[in-house]
Structure 1
Amino acid sequence: MYYPEPISKLIDSFTKLPGIGPKTAVRLAFFVINMKDDDVLNFANSLVNAKRELTHCSVCGHITDQDPCSICQDNTRDESIICVVQDPKDVIAMEKMREFRGKYHVLHGAISPMDGIGPEDINVPDLINRLKNEDVDELILATNPNIEGEATAMYISRLVRPSGIRTTRIAHGLPVGGDLEYADEVTLSKALEGRREL
């Protein structure tokens, strides 16, 4: 289907976003075209400002507009516990829970030999340097429960083991409100593995 070039470019831009297919991209493009000029300018400015003003914390790697980030600057948090996550979105998910009072380390990915991503391609070397320079008692590995996340957690635990730092892995299993009949074998296996006494 033919669209004027400015609309085609806008549609192409939207299709580059994750989860946006061609039909959704067309809908979004026409929605933007029908917006008021001020709203479009504010939207464009928000995109540009987010890209320009955000950076990664030099301590933990979390996305921030100040360096170090507010979590790393918070003296009330327990510096002896570091939770290792794959993505800044994982930090935000953990913070919404409001129960973890330690610090974080964001890897910005996971080890994936199939995709050519090794430990040096993610934030593992910075984690090791951090563990050498900080007094850490426990490292919580909160990587995703998939092949890449598990491989990353295993690699880090083996790397850290000689230092004597306690290394734990978040539990995996059935979600609260989930039904056994709909769970796959791996999820059920992990749920049994992580069972605890009542």
Structure 2
Amino acid sequence: MPASEIERMIHLLARLPGLGPRSARRAALALIVKRESLLRPLGEALLRASEAIRPCSICANLDDRNPCGICAEPKREAHLLCVVEEVGDLWAIERSGVYRGRYHVLGGTLSALDGRGPEQLNVAGLLDRAAAVEVTEVILALGATVDGQTTAHYIAERLEPLGVTITRLAQGLPVGGELDYLDDGTLSAAFRQRRPA
């Protein structure tokens, strides 16, 4: 029977996204076997991260600086403000390298089922930022889920009186996608958002 500390480690690792119980066991074993070169440095890095990383007071991105590196970067296009649900969405857009504006992290989407209304999201901060003179366009980069669509509609209504341009990311066919394998919702969005060839 494995020691209780090993089971505790496996249990905690299994709670991470993408790791099930079997993957967590393999990861735990690898960490224990490489105690000096992997486990200790990882433990120290996690402790330092838990002490240093905080939400940015401007956009709610996670960083060890405040304001975060993105908000502090002077070469960013201050007239563009991209609204995302979570920090992971911001990181995904940054990885793509296609956007050079600023961000605003809502902290989720509106969800009646989960009891999450506008008060639980960072909507007030968004409205304050969108009202700034330099902001001319707000890009709603929210998921194509019912909650994402509802949140985008709510935010667009709230932004409309500010006179900023409100845009949404296009939705539809993925690059390399075959029509036969697409779900009905994706295919429907692709047809609604078609453009001249």
Bin for the TM-score computed over the shorter chain: over 0.9
Paired amino acid for 2:186: T
Q: Distance in 2 between matches of 1:97 and 1:38?
A: 32
Q: CA deviation at 1:37?
A: 2.7
Q: CA deviation at 1:126?
A: 1.0
User: Per the alignment, in what secondary structure is the counterpart of residue 131 of structure 2?
Assistant: helix
Q: Is 1:93 matched with 2:108?
A: no
Q: Distance in 2 between matches of 1:6 and 1:28?
A: 14
Q: Distance in 2 between matches of 1:3 and 1:147?
A: 44
After superposition, residues 9-28 of structure 1 pair within 5 angstroms as 9-28=8-27
Counterpart residue number, 2:5: 6
CA contact (8 A) 2:77 2:100 kept: yes
Paired amino acid for 1:141: L
Task: Give the 3 Å change call, closer, same or farther, for CA 184–38 of structure 1 in structure 2.
Answer: closer
Q: CA deviation at 1:103?
A: 1.0
Q: Distance in 2 between matches of 1:85 and 1:43?
A: 29
Q: CA deviation at 1:134?
A: 4.4
Q: CA deviation at 1:61?
A: 1.2
Counterpart residue number, 1:190: 189
Q: Distance in 2 between matches of 1:102 and 1:91?
A: 11
Counterpart residue number, 1:141: 140
User: Per the alignment, in what secondary structure is the counterpart of residue 42 of structure 1?
Assistant: helix
User: Per the alignment, in what secondary structure is the counterpart of residue 45 of structure 2?
Assistant: helix
Q: CA deviation at 1:19?
A: 2.8
CA contact (8 A) 2:14 2:24 kept: yes
Counterpart residue number, 1:34: 33
Q: Deviations over 1:17-74 (max 9, x none)?
A: 2232222222222222211334311010111112211111111111111111222122
After superposition, residues 1-198 of structure 1 pair within 5 angstroms as 2-198=1-197
User: Per the alignment, in what secondary structure is the counterpart of residue 143 of structure 1?
Assistant: coil
Residue segments in structure 1 that go unaligned for 5+ positions in a row: none
TM-score (ref. length: structure 2): 0.92
Report how many aligned residue pairs link the two structures: 197
Q: Distance in 1 between matches of 2:7 and 2:154?
A: 45
Percent identity of paired positions between Structure 1 and Structure 2 = 38
Q: Distance in 1 between matches of 2:23 and 2:94?
A: 31
Residue segments in structure 2 that go unaligned for 5+ positions in a row: none
Superposed CA RMSD in Å reads: 1.6
